[in-house]
Amino acid sequence: MIERHFIQEQLKKLKLEQYLAPELRSAGFVGVDVIKTPIATRVIINVTKPGLAIGKKGKTIKNLTKELEEKFGYENPQIEVQEVKEPELNAKACVDRIVTLIERGYSWRSVVYRVMEDAIAHKAQGIEIVLRGVLAGKGNRAKHERVAKGYMKKAGEQAYLVDYAKGMAVTKIGGIGVKVRIIKPGIVFPDKRSINEILGRTEVKEEKKEAEGESKAGRVEGEEKEAEEKSKASEAEEGEKIKEEAGREKIAHEVEAKAEATKEKNVNESLSESPAEGNEKLTDAQKIVPKAKKVKKEEKNAKIGKATKEVTKEKAANEKENNLEKEGKKESNKEDKAEDYKEASESSKNIG
């Protein structure tokens, strides 16, 4: 039967928890999750202090893997140590904390109230701690003490949403039983939901559908508006660029006009005054300008001289070539005349 298989697996897990609890008590053992895969079996150990569970160079994990294979028959077990993020909201971790402190000799009242305040500080909806045993000291009767704060559920299916754990502290006087119930933040019970919220959700869904339809129409209009705005912005940018270029040209013309006016003023002042004073008032720029003109003229003349030399050289080379061609033609004519003379003389001899 399939039911028997599941029952056997759960019994196996329970035995594993009973075995690991004393082994990893110092590490704050909370629980175990076993996940079977085709390659290996993952064993996830939830602990409040993972460093103590791993040990030096993973010694404790290696020992545990061997024992899991031999005692429990797990094939290729892969142990993973997972840290409990908020131990103040875990019932098993709170029970272990209370048990260890009571066994060390601390007052149960101070321990219980400290655990309760820590849970409420971490936004727990409610917490209940129950102690039973010899709490007052040697020779006294067993007592039942209950300390609670916040909201708590104890009956019905809703009770499964409450985190529950129990343990026992063994003291010199006797055993003390500890039970802890915690409702974690984020858990919503059915009786805490209002009809207005449920109805509000349906109204919200209808409003969302209407808003989506309106948003689609609005998107189309928005895209058209954006395209128009972009075209207008581009036109405005082009107009600004043209204005900036025109302004720059105006400024350049004004600067040139001012420079020419200042030059004319300086020249007129130099002519009106005596030559000695005019020469003294000549600026460095006015002295440098004629020198620059002279240098430019000399460069132009040098370029023209080079060009004329090259042209004359080309002409001389062409004349030489023409003379050589003419001499060659004359020699060829002389040879032709000599040949004609020889032929005529030979023909005259034959006739004679």
CATH number assigned to the domain comprising residue 79: 3.30.300.20
Residue 254 lies in a domain: no
Single out the residue in 84, 112, 127 at which a domain terminates.
Answer: 84
The reply to whether 77 and 105 lie within a common domain is no
Residue 43 lies in a domain: yes
How many domains does the structure of the chain reveal? 3
Please name the amino acid found at residue 226.
Answer: E
Residue 251 lies in a domain: no
Secondary structure string (H, E, C) spanning the chain = CHHHHHHHHHHHHHHHHHHHHHHCCCCCEEEEEEEECCCCEEEEEEECCHHHHHCHHHHHHHHHHHHHHHHCCCCCEEEEEEECCCHHHCHHHHHHHHHHHHHHCCCHHHHHHHHHHHHHHCCCCEEEEEEEECCCCCCCCCEEEEEEEECCCCCCHHHHHCEEEEEEEECCCCEEEEEEEEECCCCCCHHHCCHHHHHHHHHHHHHHHHHHHHHHHHHHHHHHHHHHHHHHHHHHHHHHHHHHHHHHHHHHHHHHHHHHHHHHHHHHHHHHCCHHHHHHHCCHHHHHHHHHHHHHHHHHHHHHHHHHHHHHHHHHHHHHHHHHHHHHHHHHHHHHHHHHHHHHHHHHHHHC
Confidence (pLDDT) at 288: 57
The reply to whether 47 and 73 lie within a common domain is yes
Q: What digits encode the pLDDT tens for the residues 293-337? A: 676 677 777 777 777 777 777 778 787 777 777 776 666 666 666
Residue 332 lies in a domain: no
CATH number assigned to the domain comprising residue 177: 3.30.1140.32
Whole-number Å distance between alpha carbons of 116 and 89: 10
Confidence (pLDDT) at 345: 67
Single out the residue in 61, 84, 107 at which a domain terminates.
Answer: 84
Confidence (pLDDT) at 278: 46
Whole-number Å distance between alpha carbons of 138 and 306: 130
65 burial via Cβ count (<10 Å: 0-12, 13-18, 19+): middle
The reply to whether 66 and 118 lie within a common domain is no
| Domain that residue 315 falls in | 288-319
Confidence (pLDDT) at 126: 93
The reply to whether 111 and 179 lie within a common domain is yes
The reply to whether 17 and 79 lie within a common domain is yes
Single out the residue in 188, 212, 240 at which a domain terminates.
Answer: 188
Confidence (pLDDT) at 5: 83
Please name the amino acid found at residue 97.
Answer: R
Confidence (pLDDT) at 188: 85
CB 190 within 8 A of CB 158: yes
Residue 345 lies in a domain: no
Residue 195 lies in a domain: no
The reply to whether 68 and 48 lie within a common domain is yes
The reply to whether 107 and 183 lie within a common domain is yes
Whole-number Å distance between alpha carbons of 19 and 13: 10
Please name the amino acid found at residue 351.
Answer: I
Residue 235 lies in a domain: no
Q: What digits encode the pLDDT tens for the residues 209-248? A: 777 777 766 676 777 778 778 877 777 787 777 777 777 7
Q: Which residues contact residue 72 at a Cβ distance below 8 angstroms, ignoring those fewer than 6 apart?
A: 12, 15, 16
The reply to whether 43 and 112 lie within a common domain is no
Residue 164 lies in a domain: yes
Print pLDDT tens along the chain (352 aa). 688 888 888 888 888 888 888 888 888 888 888 888 888 888 898 888 888 888 888 888 888 888 888 888 888 888 888 888 888 999 999 999 999 999 998 999 999 999 999 999 999 999 999 999 988 777 678 889 999 999 998 888 888 899 999 999 998 888 899 999 999 998 888 877 777 766 766 666 777 777 777 776 667 677 777 877 887 777 778 777 777 777 777 777 777 777 777 777 766 665 555 444 444 444 554 555 556 667 667 777 777 777 777 777 777 878 777 777 777 666 666 666 667 666 666 666 656 4
